[in-house]
Structure 1
Amino acid sequence: MPNTAHIYVPTLASEQLDTGLCHGRWGWRSSALERGGALQAAQTLEPGDYLVFGHRGPNSRVKPGGWSDATLQRVVVAQLTAALFTEQTPIWHDDTYPERIGLRLIADLGELSGPDLGSRAMESLRLSANKRGVPVVTPGAEVMGHLVVGISADSADRAEPGDGALSYVLRGVLSRRNASVLRKRMLGDSTSTCAFCGRTLPNSLLSVIHITPLHSLSTEDQAGVDNCTVACNLGCEQLFRRGYVTVDAEGIVTAGPSSRETPDVHQAVGAISGRLVAGFTARSAPFFASHRDLNTF
């Protein structure tokens, strides 16, 4: 049974968290692990253990249990891929953090409150906050089981902490939660703009879609915004999903191989061809390239 490590990330370390997730690494200063058995706790972590990162919580200098109803502005769930090791390769801009673990992202859950995570997880994160962000480890996956039940709207997705299928259930539930968080992050309050045609529409007529299908990607890539774009339900979503249009290396909408299947398809493709996709970046470019490869035949 995997264990669960809780790691608090302070408010000013938002960039460090994103950098660590991007590189599949987390690290601590050696001095941080020298106190209060922190090194021994970190050394107990093994591949397959769960990691819960809590970011931007309230004042942690409160009595035990004082975070039971608190809210964390960001909660990230990951899984350990490499046990504690020492590495000097530069990753973060502010410090080396040589005492490192490897990780893969499962889901970036956004804001969560104490009842969602459970009192045990919140207390562990509070303790981590008071100990310079060192890992606070709880045995077993009880916290993960509570998280599944806490954020799942479908009782069929619920699993007991000891259930052998917990990892599978956890990924399914958190993937849906992650999709909801991504939609809120990428769309405005009531209206947003289609990245392909540029029309401003009610959010009900827009979808946040994956550029490259999830089955073709690692878990880390599935969870991030770089593999997502906004497409309208008035035609652009299906034109892109089905490869009638692709996006070139410069971010320009380009007619796909099937674009002349019928005159009406050709007309619809022509209406958006040549446009620069909104939000195209160097980080999203590889996903658009993968989409092109999958739809070149």
Structure 2
Amino acid sequence: MTTVFVYVGDEGQKNLETGIQESVWGWKPGVVEGKAHLAVLQSLRAGDYLVLGSRGLGRISAEEAHGRTAEALHITRLTGGLYQDHTTVWEDETYPYRVPMEPLDVWEKARKDDLGEDAWEALRRSACANGAAKRAEAEDSFMEKALTKVLGGWEQELAQAGQPTDAAGDADDPADLGILELPPATDRLAYVRARTEQKALRRTKLAGRHEVPCDLCQLVLPKRLVHTAHIKRRSVASPTERADLNNVMFACVLGCDSLFEHGYVYVDADGAIRPSEPVASSTHLTTAVERLCDTCTAHTDASADYFAWHRHTIAHVS
């Protein structure tokens, strides 16, 4: 796993906003071509981390940087490696050397102690090199701090909600029941961030209820038997879509969650639950689908586009 740090100054703030929104970051040819920076970018792979530091440093000495504060730190995870593309993303220039990424977290008012000395120095060196991507000498130190911060924030949210402050698992969340251990270190920050986001959505959607109806079969079940499932998969949803409660439905673990997840059933434009084509050739699948209700209670005008995505992309219904 590799983590690189990029500094974005005052003039790049609009580009930073655009890059985060479009899930891509780019560099000018002059910052890449014929420079050691190119080898750094070529080494990046999906699963590596790109940390974008906003304002506060600039072309200053290491000693002067120690007392500075970065306005914001955007932690992103790469979804692919370096590629070249000249299509328009940013208004001022093309920035053809690009990496695709997904935003994970934002730290406001970050200082050296928040990142660790090596990561802070990498960010300063990037500021001195026109925003070139720089590695920290001790990458593990930054990742440990990032994990600690995410877990600490989640535990604080639990405490404020009057819940047990155990961020590791929840006996009433079926998504936690099959988790035996954390994923490999390369995926750990993204995994923890995703789980904390999902738990926050689940808590909001449950609204204190201990029993909820499945949106597909409409059985009222204990909450531990009901998933809070994204309609448009989280892996392809934008940050806004991932946090949208209209993109979340209740799907029970008695079969509804899996039938919907794998596209054996879909919700049509009128909110009716329909079997997809593979169901017709299986008596057992047909039996499983027949226990579902006629309509999906999660289908509304606000969720219709999410169900349309699932219908076309997962169930392959045109």
TM-score between the two structures when normalised by the length of structure 2: 0.54
Inter-partner Cα distance in structure 2 for 1:173 and 1:125: 24
Match of 2:14 in 1: 15
Structure 2: unaligned runs, 5 residues or longer: 156-164, 169-181, 202-227, 252-269, 273-299, 311-318
Q: Contact 1:71–1:111 (CA<8 Å) still a contact in 2?
A: no
The AA in structure 1 aligned to 2:97 is: E
Change (3 A) 1:227 1:42: closer
Inter-partner Cα distance in structure 2 for 1:11 and 1:53: 13
> For residues 53-202 of structure 1, what are the structure 2 equivalents within 5 Å?
53-56=52-55, 58-64=56-62, 66-68=64-66, 70-101=68-99, 103-114=100-111, 115-138=113-136, 141-142=139-140, 143-153=142-152, 165-175=184-194
The AA in structure 2 aligned to 1:45 is: L
Residue aligned with 1:45, SS: coil
The AA in structure 1 aligned to 2:184 is: A
How far the C-alpha of 1:169 sits from its partner, in A, is: 3.3
Q: Contact 1:8–1:133 (CA<8 Å) still a contact in 2?
A: yes
Change (3 A) 1:166 1:66: farther
Q: Contact 1:109–1:174 (CA<8 Å) still a contact in 2?
A: no
Residue aligned with 1:97, SS: coil
The AA in structure 2 aligned to 1:99 is: Y
Change (3 A) 1:227 1:130: same
Change (3 A) 1:12 1:144: same
Inter-partner Cα distance in structure 2 for 1:6 and 1:80: 13
Q: Contact 1:8–1:126 (CA<8 Å) still a contact in 2?
A: yes
Q: Contact 2:28–2:94 (CA<8 Å) still a contact in 1?
A: yes
The AA in structure 1 aligned to 2:234 is: S
Match of 2:234 in 1: 218
Q: Contact 1:5–1:50 (CA<8 Å) still a contact in 2?
A: yes
> What's the CA shift string for 1:201-245, capped at 9, x where partnerless?
xxxxxxxxxxx94474234636x23554589xxxxxxxx9669xx
Match of 1:6 in 2: 5
Inter-partner Cα distance in structure 1 for 2:236 and 2:31: 27
Inter-partner Cα distance in structure 1 for 2:70 and 2:14: 17
> For residues 13-52 of structure 1, what are the structure 2 equivalents within 5 Å?
13-34=12-33, 37-52=36-51
Q: Contact 2:6–2:53 (CA<8 Å) still a contact in 1?
A: yes
How far the C-alpha of 1:10 sits from its partner, in A, is: 1.9
Inter-partner Cα distance in structure 1 for 2:138 and 2:304: 40
Q: Contact 1:74–1:108 (CA<8 Å) still a contact in 2?
A: no
The AA in structure 2 aligned to 1:7 is: V
Inter-partner Cα distance in structure 2 for 1:179 and 1:29: 37
Structure of larger gyration radius:
2
Aligned residues between the structures: 217
Q: Contact 1:69–1:113 (CA<8 Å) still a contact in 2?
A: no
> What's the CA shift string for 1:56-109, capped at 9, x where partnerless?
2x13333225444543222222222332222212221111111122x2314132
Change (3 A) 1:256 1:70: farther
The structure showing larger relative contact order (alpha-carbon pairs under 8 Å, at least 6 residues apart) is: 1
Change (3 A) 1:59 1:140: closer
Match of 1:195 in 2: none
